[in-house]
Structure 1
């Protein structure tokens, strides 16, 4: 107020009354105007608050549905892991030789996910052994003849619902797997799994304290539960929930838990096994999320109404002086004189006076200013165009002051944001330690000798990544006599990587061509001996093997010779013989990435097995089937990759009188090259080939998750 009075005194001429003085301060008007303008922002905030609530509700539904789906898949993998483990046990030589005592010890050391027991049955229900008791203990016959009969007929694994076993009094789930020997189901291998396995699966997810998660079997009984499992395991879920699970494989419903808590329940049913995973979110949490936004919306509505009334009143008070000020600004813009008539607002009057004083000076400088601006704008446009065309960032460095001015593109070349501070010290710190001496020497030489700067070096971005930079510069003397250097920078990482990749590919191509020619030479030599021995199909077999080798090379080329998945190698050779229903050829096993040498050897081996199956084996008949299963096994020794080829449904197999070329090729390509162990069984029902490799000689890398959690998943 003191400053306002002084200003009014200076601007009021003698003789004028105080009635002509400005009565309202612009600061006061603006403070009130800010309040009025804030009200619409509050309205927008209210709308945003409601939108956030709706979005959060939809996101909650989507997130929990995805969690239940993921947990359902985890449940499938847990069951399939147990199945794969049983199938590995089912291939034990101890069963074939009848050494059940040895198999009992092997089953005890299998390291499965804490089953209650593992048992071996004969198809008539006689129990041969059970890991629950010492080997040799007399055991009663199985009380599940129907289950054993179905497993024997279907030759598929079967998972039971949760039931209390009379022998132990425990609530268990059983998994039965057939043991096929010489084309017939010789035994049934069974594993009893306690609810603790599935309970641990829920506990590992760290379900929120107020929520509830559960696993249901096919009949709707609770197998595992996050809240009070000891009370509810074995009970059936609510009928309404069971109806929803029966009607759809996944979804959500409003339900009441067995605890009597109203909740929104999300479920996902497993397709292979029919088990379900559910998560229940208490309805009270959803209601609380809705009540808070509604209260705030009512408060905001009241504030908005008051703000509208206040804004309308103030708009009338400031409209007239603002119009007068706008008129003065328009007159200034047209180059016309500006009048000094009072607006009765102190700050507006001061602005109008300043406009009037500036009008004359502006008219005098207008022409020269426009010429300068046009010239500068044209120069800057050309510079920006040139820099952008070359993807160059500009910079200027003054050693005497340490000032370092960079463009946004230059900072981006060093991994910095457009508005991020970047000093010359930061540039030196970001330079690769091995290249700092080269960078400093190049700059010092250019500054000392007044020569141009051209240097390429590596820089480390804040995220730790390494990039190549090309820097060019030229020295100049400023108007004040100071020496500085200006220049440009360019990110040349892609160019350097392209040069290195080209050199690597040329070297790798030379190596691969030599290996391929050696393989073709070996195949040609062996084929020649077969032709000299009187084999009329030697030439066709030779051409087929070359075509198989070419297909395998195409598969490796698509991955830049970084290896290939075992499943892709198998499909590369077997897909031409697959039926439209995908039932004739069955592939099952974990994700395994083979080395290039293993891909070539496995491709030739699978080609030989497939060719033999098409000519003489199961693929020569429409009802014939081929099953290829693989698994990563561990034991006392090094880890191994086990691949099992099984044919069925073909003509009766007769053991060959002599070892054929295909068998020799498999043994040389796999056994000698990769250190593998090959076992060929010419069973009457179909050929069975079991190949075992040391894992480190064939595998590039296993996915960390699959190696630890899905080693036996299909």
Structure 2
């Protein structure tokens, strides 16, 4: 019996062969990628290191120039400190009274450098005293007749260049200050300072031992030097540096030091006294930065070449695993159609064919699960973000079982760590004993009538501090019928404190407003009297004083009425008259914080002086100047704050025939309220006003120590 052949086997169409055609292999792409990255990397590295070297050089030049500029300013501050000491001493009553023995003691106690000395000279050149010797010891006459004549003509302080003492031969710098009594120069205060203080400035900078730092006086002579100072102090600096500093206040120049080292010298001339600070760096050290950049460039090129070699090895290692992956992917995707276009890469096209077919079913199965999990995760994330943003802690309490769960934020509210045990009894134990009954009553009422829970109580922290916590919750019925409370906790301590502070601030505001109205009433009363006496500008003056008072109030408001610095009070009143270069009005003095009452009184006084200067004094002319200096004199008994107002460059001044309203206002505000003493001197070249306050009546904090009292404002 012959069997039939049966139905013919079904033939499936063969999928298109993606391996046909000419394409690029994976090895070729790897090599192309290596070279595509290598060549730009070399070019970019070369350009980058070149740019880095230039940037490093520019940064080094700028840093060294800024260092020279900062140190030149420190020269001015050091000289100004000694000049201010002389100015404070010039105000000593002992000079005017002729009590030179007392003044000799004061001068020895001012605290200048150990190598410095102070001398008092009369206008005939006789040295009356010198702090280097005991009072009464015979002293030689002063030999600087030209300086004495110049001081008598200019009434200004003079700073000498470095010179040798004719008696001891010691290198010295001299600061001379006229002592003016009854508008005449009666004496000369002279401070002889050794180069040691400038040598100390250099030593404090800890200059590299291969560098050289030097201080030059106006003639270009070396006053202090970091390298071999004993050998070179007193010699003239290199002509290159002297010529460059004469042409420009700051810059750098190629030069050679006096000990024969080729350097680039960075110099800056001090703006006040014209002395120059020089920082010299060896040329070999500057060239080292280029060598470092070139060294790292060679290192980078070597790394790139090494990377090329490693890429050749890795390309062979990558190809074999890819071949095995292709075989596995073909087995997984047998009989399925390939979707997508060719990548023109042999191995990648094969992997795409196998994995695309195998992943289609897996993606379909996982899609719904991932979407459900994503919705749940998104909902939980929103809840966590909301609780975190509001600083809320979550909790749940089931009374029937005693189960209690709390988030880490809720645990923190009760002073507990995030991982330690924390039950409902621990929560109750943390509540302040006086508030536990109120909390228990609120929980019982919420469970009884199934209402919301709202209660606030104090929590005692582990460090025995107290925090206010607000608990909010709702009653929830579980699947087993048990009731539970679910809610949040919130720390409201800051809110409670804010409410208390608001009450205190309202009370303080009422007090401050009453004081301000009393001041305005006093100014208005005095202004009305001036108007009744025929003063046509009384109303404008009154408005100016009110505006000045408003500026002072702004300063006090910025510090919550804790006072303000003396410099801020002066700038608030005088900045409208300042020029663009900030040279018309000059402020110098230490940092001093004033009490609120002193701020108001002094603000009105400065406003009156500034108004008078703009109407009749130095500020009426473009070349007019105003200088305000202050100092805390702790050596006097009692300690006082001295503020000096000096006008110059204005029209000639003539003493007034009668006391004006502004003068009365200053005396009432300062003398009566603060116990200050005011001295007005109507010199022809400009008004000079010296105001002396008791420290305890005006300062908002203890007076600064002697060393900090000599730090001046800009």
Shift in alpha-carbon separation, 1:558–1:471, aligned structure 2, 3 A = farther
Deviation at 1:355, TM superposition (A): 7.7
Shift in alpha-carbon separation, 1:234–1:647, aligned structure 2, 3 A = closer
1:94-152 Cα distance to aligned partner (Å, 9 max, x none): 33344444433332333223453323344564544433444455555433333333333
Partners of 1:196 and 1:540 lie apart in 2 by 57
Deviation at 1:275, TM superposition (A): 1.2
| Partner residue in 2 for 1:146 | 146
Deviation at 1:173, TM superposition (A): 0.6
Q: Which deviates further from its counterpart, 507-516 or 451-460?
A: 451-460
1:650 corresponds to 2:652: yes
1:409-463 Cα distance to aligned partner (Å, 9 max, x none): x99x99xxxxxxx8356999xxxxxx98699989x97999998687798999xxx
Deviation at 1:512, TM superposition (A): 1.4
1:514 corresponds to 2:514: yes
CA contact (8 A) 2:695 2:703 kept: no
SS in 2 for 1:690: strand
CA contact (8 A) 1:647 1:687 kept: yes
Partners of 1:230 and 1:103 lie apart in 2 by 35
1:523-582 Cα distance to aligned partner (Å, 9 max, x none): 455566x57xx9514685476246414422333224413433434434555566778887
Deviation at 1:641, TM superposition (A): 0.8
Q: Which deviates further from its counterpart, 238-247 or 225-234?
A: 238-247
Q: Which deviates further from its counterpart, 96-105 or 396-405?
A: 396-405
Shift in alpha-carbon separation, 1:327–1:274, aligned structure 2, 3 A = farther
| Partner residue in 2 for 1:75 | 75
1:84 corresponds to 2:79: no
Deviation at 1:218, TM superposition (A): 1.7
Deviation at 1:222, TM superposition (A): 1.7
CA contact (8 A) 1:122 1:187 kept: yes
Q: Which deviates further from its counterpart, 704-713 or 365-374?
A: 704-713
CA contact (8 A) 2:632 2:709 kept: no
| Partner residue in 2 for 1:366 | 366
1:230-277 Cα distance to aligned partner (Å, 9 max, x none): 222112222233333334333344544333344443332211111122
Shift in alpha-carbon separation, 1:585–1:65, aligned structure 2, 3 A = closer
Shift in alpha-carbon separation, 1:212–1:269, aligned structure 2, 3 A = same
SS in 2 for 1:272: coil
Q: Which deviates further from its counterpart, 495-504 or 545-554?
A: 495-504
SS in 1 for 2:234: coil
Partners of 1:622 and 1:66 lie apart in 2 by 32
Shift in alpha-carbon separation, 1:489–1:543, aligned structure 2, 3 A = farther
SS in 2 for 1:104: helix
Deviation at 1:201, TM superposition (A): 1.9
Partners of 2:194 and 2:251 lie apart in 1 by 28
Partners of 2:702 and 2:688 lie apart in 1 by 27
| Partner residue in 1 for 2:541 | 544
Map 1:206-285 onto structure 2 (within 5 A).
Answer: 206-285=206-285
| Partner residue in 1 for 2:697 | 697
Map 1:583-594 onto structure 2 (within 5 A).
Answer: 587-594=587-594
Map 1:179-194 onto structure 2 (within 5 A).
Answer: 179-194=179-194
CA contact (8 A) 1:653 1:686 kept: no
Partners of 2:56 and 2:471 lie apart in 1 by 49
| Partner residue in 2 for 1:319 | 319
CA contact (8 A) 1:640 1:694 kept: yes
Deviation at 1:46, TM superposition (A): 8.2
Deviation at 1:661, TM superposition (A): 5.6
Partners of 1:498 and 1:207 lie apart in 2 by 53
Partners of 1:651 and 1:385 lie apart in 2 by 73
| Partner residue in 2 for 1:197 | 197
Shift in alpha-carbon separation, 1:96–1:227, aligned structure 2, 3 A = same
CA contact (8 A) 1:81 1:713 kept: no
Q: Which deviates further from its counterpart, 325-334 or 591-600?
A: 325-334
1:66 corresponds to 2:61: no
Q: Which deviates further from its counterpart, 151-160 or 355-364?
A: 355-364
Map 1:194-593 onto structure 2 (within 5 A).
Answer: 194-286=194-286, 291=291, 294-295=294-295, 297-316=297-316, 318-319=318-319, 321-322=321-322, 325=325, 362=362, 365-373=365-373, 375-376=375-376, 379=379, 383=383, 423-424=418-419, 502-524=502-524, 530=529, 536-537=533-534, 541=538, 544-545=541-542, 547-560=544-557, 561-573=561-573, 587-593=587-593
Deviation at 1:599, TM superposition (A): 1.5
Partners of 1:279 and 1:477 lie apart in 2 by 82
Which 5+ residue runs of structure 1 have no aligned equivalent? 1-28, 339-347, 415-421, 429-434, 461-465
Normalized against structure 1, the TM-score is what? Answer: 0.71
Partners of 1:696 and 1:536 lie apart in 2 by 38
Partners of 2:443 and 2:52 lie apart in 1 by 58
Shift in alpha-carbon separation, 1:187–1:327, aligned structure 2, 3 A = farther
1:577-598 Cα distance to aligned partner (Å, 9 max, x none): 7788877765443343322211
Shift in alpha-carbon separation, 1:96–1:386, aligned structure 2, 3 A = same
Partners of 2:60 and 2:486 lie apart in 1 by 55
| Partner residue in 2 for 1:343 | none
Map 1:633-672 onto structure 2 (within 5 A).
Answer: 633-635=633-635, 637-646=637-646, 649-653=651-655, 656=658, 662-672=662-672
Shift in alpha-carbon separation, 1:478–1:53, aligned structure 2, 3 A = farther
Which 5+ residue runs of structure 2 have no aligned equivalent? 1-26, 339-347, 424-429
Shift in alpha-carbon separation, 1:525–1:233, aligned structure 2, 3 A = same
Shift in alpha-carbon separation, 1:674–1:291, aligned structure 2, 3 A = same
Partners of 1:562 and 1:156 lie apart in 2 by 38
Deviation at 1:635, TM superposition (A): 0.4
Shift in alpha-carbon separation, 1:315–1:118, aligned structure 2, 3 A = same
CA contact (8 A) 2:632 2:703 kept: no
Shift in alpha-carbon separation, 1:178–1:333, aligned structure 2, 3 A = farther
Map 1:127-166 onto structure 2 (within 5 A).
Answer: 127-137=127-137, 139-166=139-166
Partners of 2:334 and 2:496 lie apart in 1 by 58
Q: Which deviates further from its counterpart, 444-453 or 84-93?
A: 444-453
Deviation at 1:165, TM superposition (A): 1.8
Deviation at 1:200, TM superposition (A): 1.7
CA contact (8 A) 1:472 1:488 kept: yes
Normalized against structure 2, the TM-score is what? Answer: 0.71
Partners of 1:123 and 1:273 lie apart in 2 by 25
CA contact (8 A) 1:652 1:686 kept: no
CA contact (8 A) 1:335 1:363 kept: no
Paired residues in the alignment total 643
CA contact (8 A) 2:127 2:141 kept: yes
Shift in alpha-carbon separation, 1:121–1:459, aligned structure 2, 3 A = farther
CA contact (8 A) 2:223 2:234 kept: yes
